[in-house]
Chains A and B, each alone.
Chain A
Amino acid sequence: MAGFLMLLIVAAAAAGFFVNWRAAQVLRNGGVRLHSMTAFHGAYAALIAALPAFIFLLIWLALRDGAIMAIVMSGLPDGAYPADDAGARSLVQSEIRSLADGNVFGTPADYMLVAAERLNSLRWVGDVLMAFGVAAILGFGLWRARRSIAPQFRARQRVEQILSGVMIFCAASAILVTVGITASLVFESLRFFAKVPVTEFLFGLNWEPQIPIREGQVAGAGAFGWVPVILGTLVITAIACAVAIPIGLMTAIYLNEFASPRLRNITKPLLEILAGVPTVVYGFFAILVVAPAMRDFAATIGVAVSPNIALAAGGVMGIMLIPFISSFADDALSAVPRSLRDGSLALGATRGETVRKVLFPAAIPGIVGGVLLAVSRAIGETMIVVMAAGLIATLTINPLDSVTTVTVQIVTLLIGDTSFDNPKTLAAFALGLMLFIVTLGLNIIALRVVRKYREIYD
């Protein structure tokens, strides 16, 4: 239905364009001087008909299901589900939905069948209303556009106004996304903090989110202190940085100062491949190759390590970050003015001394910015750790042990769980909020550092 209406809107826009365009041409051929070119009259008709209809359709589709369900639920008899239990409510909703789709399991209560029937009829009514609404808006728009054709009608200005409005909205959508992220994270986190005190979350040393979901289920009492989780994140981030920063920097220095242009041209695309590999591939690489290799090596030298050794996840993450750091450092080194380099070399410094004592200090702000961005990436990186790091939060900084990270916890808490009313799911949003704040802070500092550095030489 929605697809058909979308086509209808496109067709109406095309028709409106053509009709108005022809009408304007007829007017012009009659010897009248038009204010705007004929194509603008056509475009005006297309925009004024299609744009409102399109917006109407989107809003309708976004709100339809929720509104219909609310009507259906309000029609249920009292006591059909416990009034304050969101889980039971969503269960009833999905049962009504599947009944309405014709999947009957067992013998549902009569009022459920009535509700399902009601849902179906409301859906039908909704579709008819939506179709009529779209058609009416299109018709009105076309009619208005057709009436507006006149020699002095400022079609171009109107079209440009509408286009500017659309473009401003699109640009502002970036803000909308940020607002959406912040709002959803803060909102769900507040619900979490209503159940678990903030201080317990921030300073608690225990993270055991496996709480009983059903009554009488055997499970831990549940503890939501994020300290071991963030500590694990920091351990893995530290390992990743220990691999990526020296190797990335050395690679950048070598490529920038010592390598022949030919080697540069060959190796840079290869490094870009390393940067373009999806993280899920790195995760598989970690469990297929790196972790077994580390375990075998540890076994041969007689060290006991955990199967989900943090070194594997961190090391592979470091490999992923090498091209990231090296390209940032490369840019920073290349941005140092030629005169500094030439001056140093002219004084008799070797290439290595020039790099170490002149270029590197001058490039430090750019490199630091890149490193900060890399750290923020490592903290937010998900797939490698989900696949290769552990699930259990232990308060340790031993890289041979198994640690868990913020992102691992978010994913494991949310996979396969839809209800938004237990602390277990909501905890993921609280973790997400912390992750967002930390990475955002790092990014802002990094961009500041980079920008400040640019100002020195520009």
Chain B
Amino acid sequence: MHARERVEAVLNGRKPDRIPNFNIVMFFSAKQGGRSFRDYVSDYRVLCDCDFAVSERYGIDMLSAISDPMREAEGFGARVRMPENGVPYSPVALIDDLYDAPDKLKPYDPYNGKRSEDRLRAIEHLQQYRGEYVIGGWVEGAFAEACDLRGINDFLTDIACEDEDAIHALLDITCRQAIRFATAQVKAGADIIGIGDAASSLISPAMYRTFAFPYQKAIVEAVHAAGGRTKLHICGNTSKVLDQMVETGSDIVDIDWMVDLRAARDAAKGRHTVICGNYDPVAILLQGTPELVRERVNACADLFDGGYISSAGCEVPMDTPEENLTAVLRALEERGV
């Protein structure tokens, strides 16, 4: 089987030849390609070339146009700095007053000549590989995007004490834009849209239900309506909201390393949700040995009988030894399903 058949098999409840490998490579990919991270996040050709080479070499089954969280914020007008080898960031939050958000944030066409468009170009460029690979897109979840625009400290304070309608007004804007961006990516040829909603691991299950869940679900449903699939990716400890993550209807729920993978599996029981995760990217991939990698890849996979995709809990660290990432593929090939 090639990667596309393998992933399709898992998503459709059939047996693949081996468990797919969905490791997220960004910094690692740029480094392997000998490019600066700034080039990687600002020129889709660099991103595509680096990612294709890494995916071929390490048996990663999805080519993803993912790089950093600031593409959407930049489209809204946030000032974004791109360090040569750091994650792009906004030095000043665009929204300094929650109540100004509806006036300040205007919806925009993702083909905006900036880095939103660059991501769409990446997806178009990756179509040359779609015979063999699945193609991944990416959007910030509405909650994470609100944090990107308002500043995470301020937005998390807002949701604890400001007017709920004003909070929803901001989330509604970021959600609509995410849907617009995600559906454009599906139209450009993305099979699976990753929804990154990192900050939503920092709030209570009750707040998640009010401020994160409805918007995640709306994005999932919009992607489905456009003919794509979704992978909900939340960095951090989401142990208390696993049921809600599954309830969004996302085809894939991607779990970070702090979560007990057994609990995630159980939360998905009786549904078609595919669980993805979750060995420790730092302690295992970056600092571990090939033997340890093999052991943990297998320990995660052993919990499942289908409905599972292998990955570290989050991004593969830049300085991960090559033999450790090779060991992931070896382990998956050895075990089959």
Q: Indicate whether A and B interact.
A: no
| Residues in A lying within 8 Å of B, measured CB to CB | none
